[in-house]
């Protein structure tokens, strides 16, 4: 579940292993590139943490973030 904190949407995803986590990141990268809206994220082994905010709107959560979070959830 996404949570909004510090003017960002945040979600932690946990997978069975590194390969699954990396595959997820690849899919998100394609979505983000198509939307021209790129996340801040960290990957450690089977865990991917994602933060979304719109930098050109002053680092706040906008509709672009909400739409990308929905697309990520649909994966």
- Kindly report, residue by residue over 10-31, the tens digit of the pLDDT: 999 999 999 999 999 999 999 9
Classify 35 as helix, strand or coil: helix
For the chain, the domains span 3-73
Q: Can you give the pTM of this predicted structure?
A: 0.92
CATH 3.30.565.10 fits 3-73, yes or no: no
Whole-number Cα distances in Å, 55 to 1, 10, 75: 22, 15, 24
Q: Which tens digits make up the pLDDT trace of 39-61?
A: 999 999 999 999 999 988 988 99
């Amino acid at each position: 579940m996404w949570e909004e904190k510090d003017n960002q949407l945040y979600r932690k995803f946990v997978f069975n292993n590194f390969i699954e986590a990396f595959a997820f990141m690849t899919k998100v990268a394609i979505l983000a590139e198509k939307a021209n809206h790129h996340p801040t994220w960290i990957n450690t082994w089977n865990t991917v943490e994602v933060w979304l905010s719109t930098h050109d709107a002053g680092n706040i959560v906008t509709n672009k973030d909400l739409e990308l979070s929905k697309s990520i959830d649909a994966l």
